[in-house]
Amino acid sequence: MKESDFLFEKVHSGMVAIAGPPNAGKSTLMNQLLGQKISIVTSKPQTTRNRIAGVLNGDDYQVVLLDTPGLHRARQPLNEEMVRIAMESLKDVDAVLYMIDVALPLPPKQEAAKSKEMLEQMDGVQAPILLILNKVDLLEKEKLLPVIKRYSDLYPFHAVLPLSALTGEATDTVLLELLQILPLGPRYFPEDIPTDASERFLTAEIIREKVFMQTGQEIPYSCAVTIESFKDDSLTKKTTIHASIVLERASQKGIVIGKGGSKLKSIGIAARKDIEKLIGQKVVLKLWVKVRKNWSKDERFLRELGF
């Protein structure tokens, strides 16, 4: 097929938003379905801040998966923007995958409130909603059927799919269900494009992931990453990247830098390895740590970050 012909090919195609509360496994599911890492993943909630598209291609389908920030009650400008992005992503899509972590059952007193919150989030969604019951590998088998029944009675979901995004158990059922929903239409992207995100954006995300993974407490949520320069050298076949880790308070710098720069070096080494896999060549990564007081409340800086 000619590169210009992909728009005229009729396949099952459409946009599918992956939504749900923080730490439900949305990014893990997208990466599992794509067979490659597009969205960063950590054990900490609210890792995903922006909407990221991953493109899943087959001979007769193209599914554009939209990984979205976790839905939660936001009180800070950054979190409000994250929730806004997630809610906007539920509009004008062909299907929604709403994910729940069933390995962390709620106390009975919280179940009613959380169910009400979930129904509020789905209110007004026009597309079919598939409920994804994630992390069933961590749930005792005899507890699964009551969980499926409780959620099935809560809302007229198109389907309720128990699976494990981490192990890949039953994730094939997601694609099978989506192909029954998605209309025939053109491919949105050429088949060799796995995401709409730029290399610069993905590089910043990789660095932020390593900060999340190698620091604790408040640092991840006080951290942003900006790419200052991104230059390819055709002679040396190396890419030189200058990036800044932006923190909210001066007292946080020492934690990220570490004794003798050890923590920053460790973050850089881990990030460089993943960036090299992303762009397919050697990388020289230079990291700086900067302080921008209360950046998460600075609307101008949030716009610079793409919110």
CA distance from start to end of the chain: 37
Residue 55 β-bridge partners: 64
- Quickly tell me which residue has 């389907």 as its tokens: 159
The CB density around residue 134, as the number of other CB atoms within 10 Å, is 26
The structure tokens listed for 277 are: 């896999």
Q: Give the helix/strand (H/E) hosting 242.
A: strand 238-247
Burial-class residue 49 by CB neighbours within 10 Å (0-12, 13-18, 19+): buried
Domains recognised in the chain with CATH numbers: 3-185 (3.40.50.300), 199-304 (3.30.300.20)
Ordered per-residue pLDDT tens for the chain, 307 residues: 455 555 567 899 999 999 999 889 999 999 999 999 999 888 777 788 888 999 999 999 999 999 998 887 777 777 788 788 888 888 889 999 999 999 877 667 777 787 888 888 888 899 999 999 999 999 888 888 988 998 888 899 999 999 999 999 999 999 999 999 999 999 999 988 899 899 999 999 999 999 999 987 777 778 999 999 999 988 888 999 999 999 999 999 999 999 999 999 999 999 999 999 999 999 999 999 999 998 988 888 888 887 7
- Give residue 21's identity as a one-letter amino acid code: P
Q: Which residues contact 96 (CB under 8 A, 6 or more apart)?
A: 16, 17, 18, 19, 90, 122, 125, 127, 128, 129, 130
What is the Cα 286 distance to its own chain's centre?
25
Q: What is the pTM of this model?
A: 0.87
